Amino acid sequence: MICSTNNPAARRYMWRFSVTMLLYLVFLVIAVWTFVHRHPTGPLAWLLAFLPALAILGQIAAFGLYLGEEKDEFQVALGVKSMLWGIGGTLAVTVTWGFLENFPQLRHLDLILVYPIFCALSGIAYGLLQLRYR
Amino acid sequence: MKNRLRVLRAEREWSQADLAQRLEVSRQSVNAIETGKFDPSLPLAFKLARLFETTIEAIFTDEHLG
């Protein structure tokens, strides 16, 4: 969401985002491989299923830390605005899709897609705000 | 909110980047404030006033007062 890396807070955010993204990929591969090849049950299965989500929670926390650490109030405002557009857009898309699912032709929207939808919409909003305030 | 930042900058021959560096914000932030698209917080307004050795009222004008 934050493209500018010319200040310490933005650089820390990019670092934390990259680490959590890498962890997400690693956890996802481990979880999928284990479920396919080892068929775990009980607490281990719960833990494996939760690991990729943990990395996503880390990403959300990283953005929260950025908003707290960023000294440039205008950049904070940009981040908050783009996040609000992302949240609003995600609510609009998912609730509309939910009602449309009453029609049997429409495939079920997997909850796992909510976060990517939020990221995409927040990213688009951030880009448009950058254009407005350039 | 209207402001005289562009004039004050010009008097000192500062670019937006120069002012941004002195305020420790991005050039984009200075541009947004200068063009009236973003109203700064009180702490940043005071920082601007100190930097230009004037008062906040001498920089920013309440549009409702004309």
- The CA-based dihedral angle spanning residues B30, B60, A80, A71, taken in that order and rounded to the nearest 10 degrees: 60
The whole-angstrom distance between B12's CA and the closest CA on chain A is 23
**Residues of B whose CB is below 8 A from A7:** 26
Q: How many domains, in total, are found in chain A?
A: 2
pLDDT at A2: 54
pLDDT higher than 70, residue B44: yes
Kindly state whether residues A102 and A58 are assigned to the same domain: no
Best of A71, A72, A129 to disrupt the B interface by mutation (most B CBs within 10 Å)?
A72
The whole-angstrom distance between B11's CA and the closest CA on chain A is 24
Kindly state whether residues A61 and A102 are assigned to the same domain: no
pLDDT at A60: 96
Asked which of A52, A71, A90 is the last residue of a domain, the reply is A71
pLDDT (tens digit per residue) in A37-65: 999 999 999 999 999 999 999 999 999 99
The C-alpha atoms of residue A33 and residue A69 are separated, in whole angstroms, by 38
State the pLDDT confidence band at A103, using cuts at 50, 70 and 90.
confident
Q: How many residues make up chain B in this entry?
A: 66
Kindly state whether residues A31 and A92 are assigned to the same domain: no
Asked which of A71, A103, A122 is the last residue of a domain, the reply is A71
The whole-angstrom distance between B9's CA and the closest CA on chain A is 19
pLDDT higher than 70, residue B41: yes
The C-alpha atoms of residue A9 and residue A5 are separated, in whole angstroms, by 8
Kindly state whether residues A64 and A1 are assigned to the same domain: yes
* Residue range A112-122: mean pLDDT, rounded: 96
The C-alpha atoms of residue A68 and residue A12 are separated, in whole angstroms, by 12
Token match 């908003």: residue?
Answer: A67
| Subunit contact A74:B41, Cβ cutoff 8 A | no
| Subunit contact B33:A73, Cβ cutoff 8 A | no
| Subunit contact B31:A7, Cβ cutoff 8 A | no
Kindly state whether residues A56 and A82 are assigned to the same domain: no
Q: Phi/psi of residue B61, each to 5°?
A: -120, 130
ipTM: 0.88
pLDDT at B66: 54
Kindly state whether residues A66 and A90 are assigned to the same domain: no
The whole-angstrom distance between A92's CA and the closest CA on chain B is 27
Q: A44, A2, A46, A54: which is closest to A24 by C-alpha?
A: A54
Kindly state whether residues A97 and A134 are assigned to the same domain: yes
Kindly state whether residues A103 and A130 are assigned to the same domain: yes
How far out from the chain centre does Cα A33 lie? 23
A74 token code pair = 């205008």
Kindly state whether residues A56 and A116 are assigned to the same domain: no
**Residues of A whose CB is below 8 A from B33:** 74
CA atoms within 13 A on the CB side of B24: 7
Domains for chain B: give ranges and CATH numbers.
2-60 (1.10.260.40)
Domain extent at residue A8 = 1-71
Pick the residue from chain A with its C-alpha nearest to B44.
Answer: A73
Kindly state whether residues A66 and A4 are assigned to the same domain: yes
pLDDT higher than 60, residue A1: no
pLDDT higher than 90, residue A105: no
- Strands, E assignment, A4-74: none
The C-alpha atoms of residue A56 and residue A24 are separated, in whole angstroms, by 7
Q: What angle do CA A75, B22, A133 make, to 5 degrees?
A: 30
pLDDT (tens digit per residue) in A4-30: 556 899 999 999 999 999 999 999 999
Tell whether B1 lies on the interface with A, counting CB pairs under 8 A.
no
Asked which of A39, A71, A103 is the last residue of a domain, the reply is A71
Token match 């100190």: residue?
Answer: B50
Amino acid at A87: I
Q: Which residues contact A57 (CB under 8 A, 6 or more apart)?
A: none
Kindly state whether residues A115 and A54 are assigned to the same domain: no
Between the CA of residue A44 and those of A23, A26, A29, A36, A89, what are the distances in Å? 18, 17, 15, 14, 35
Kindly state whether residues A131 and A81 are assigned to the same domain: yes
- What does pTM read for this prediction? 0.85
